[in-house]
Structure 1
Amino acid sequence: MSLDPTTRPPTAPAGTWRLEPDGSTVEFTGRHFFLLPVHGSLPVRSGRVEIAPDGRLVRLDAAVAAAGFETGNPGRDTAVRGPRFLDAEHHPELRLTGETLADDLSLTARLEVKGRATPVTFTVDELTEQGERVVVRATARVDRHSCGVGGMRGLVGAELLVRVRAVFAREG
């Protein structure tokens, strides 16, 4: 179901949920020369979320693979995986740790990139329950500079639009 801003959004389904990497995606759009859009993705590795019966976030932890950064431009991808940007050799994962889940299902979390944790807020655009599975689509704006990814400041814009499709399966 799509979330309609004029109606009360659904509550997050209680329980412990395991993120399914194969059905989940993390995509982003940034700006090269501050004008030209650059689209890319990062592969989802793992994740778990626990929601209390009252809808409160108990725990959220998810990881994506820094070495899987891909935009379709091999030279750019190699550079971004390198030490000036993600430093995938020394920091193989980007981690997201949840802090709070608001009534409107916006998620406040900490995004850890290269060992530096930065606050980020995701807006849930869609939440679909499919039996023992839940599909969540969410978006966030992330300032790469505040995450410690400062390479090529004069050529690459600071803000990234991050889009997540997360598929969760209920645990036992």
Structure 2
Amino acid sequence: MTIDIPGYRPGTWTLDPAHSEVTFSVRHMMISKVRGSFGVKSATIVAPENPLDAKVEASVDVTSIDTNDEGRDTHLRSADFFDVENHPTMEFRSRSARVEDGDLFVDGDLTIRGVTRPVSFALDFGGFGTDPWGNYKAGASATATIDREDFGLTWNAALETGGVLVGKDVTINLDLQGSLAQD
């Protein structure tokens, strides 16, 4: 199967970290959500003629976690959660892309804390354009929900009122902009 994406150009695309972000949200005390972000280290998309055959490799700097609370961030970097001393990055490698009911998904392997599991990101293209310096750019957003315990992130605390301090489901949001490599 092939799809037509207006403005699509084959080639090697590299992520622009200054115009991209990785954010997440997770239930806190079962009543609200904590949101945070990570710095993007790198991402490359090798895009052939058929966009569904593109390959994505990305690396996120887990040490850069920011939830607007330094104490919580320090705990998240510890061995209780991400264990950044031994696992400073989170990695994603695509396996395939597909269209399902008109929606585009990128399926791949996500590695967190040395544990690799399959993940599907729902992809929303923002479009393509040329910046004032002649660089051809693409923008997209993607979302996936993972069970953090599947990746060894199992720390939690029971609450006196019932339930737990940290929810299992984590929603990952990507807002990305990349440039097509110049020939």
TM-score where L is the length of structure 1:
0.89
Q: Which residue in the other structure is 1:156 paired with?
A: 166
Q: Does 161-170 or 97-106 show the bigger shift?
A: 97-106
CA distance in structure 2 between the partners assigned to 1:28 and 1:106 by the alignment: 19
Q: Which residue in the other structure is 1:119 paired with?
A: 118
Higher strand share: 2
Match of 2:10 among 8, 14, 21: 14
Gaps of 5+ in 2: 131-135, 158-163
Identity %: 27
Structure of greater Rg: 2
Question: Could you tell me which amino acid in structure 2 is paired with residue 60 of structure 1?
Answer: V
Check if 1:170 corresponds to 2:166.
Answer: no
CA shift for structure 1 position 9: 7.4
Counterparts of 1:104-115 in structure 2, within 5 Å, are 104-115=103-114
CA distance in structure 1 between the partners assigned to 2:9 and 2:153 by the alignment: 34
* CA deviation profile, 1:41-99 (whole Å, cap 9, x unmatched): 01111010112102233421101111111101111110001111001111110011111
Question: Is contact 2:26-2:171 (8 Å) kept?
Answer: yes
CA shift for structure 1 position 127: 2.7
Match of 1:52 among 44, 48, 52: 48
Gaps of 5+ in 1: 1-7
CA RMSD of aligned residues (A): 1.7
Q: How many pairs were matched up?
A: 165
Question: Is contact 2:142-2:173 (8 Å) kept?
Answer: yes
CA distance in structure 1 between the partners assigned to 2:142 and 2:166 by the alignment: 24
Question: Is contact 2:123-2:141 (8 Å) kept?
Answer: yes
Check if 1:68 corresponds to 2:67.
Answer: no
Q: Which residue in the other structure is 2:142 paired with?
A: 138
Question: Could you tell me which amino acid in structure 2 is paired with residue 114 of structure 1?
Answer: R
Question: Is contact 1:46-1:64 (8 Å) kept?
Answer: yes
**For 1:83, what is the secondary structure of its paired residue?**
coil
TM-score where L is the length of structure 2:
0.84
Question: Is contact 1:9-1:105 (8 Å) kept?
Answer: no
CA distance in structure 2 between the partners assigned to 1:129 and 1:167 by the alignment: 9
1:102–1:127 Cα change, 3 Å: farther
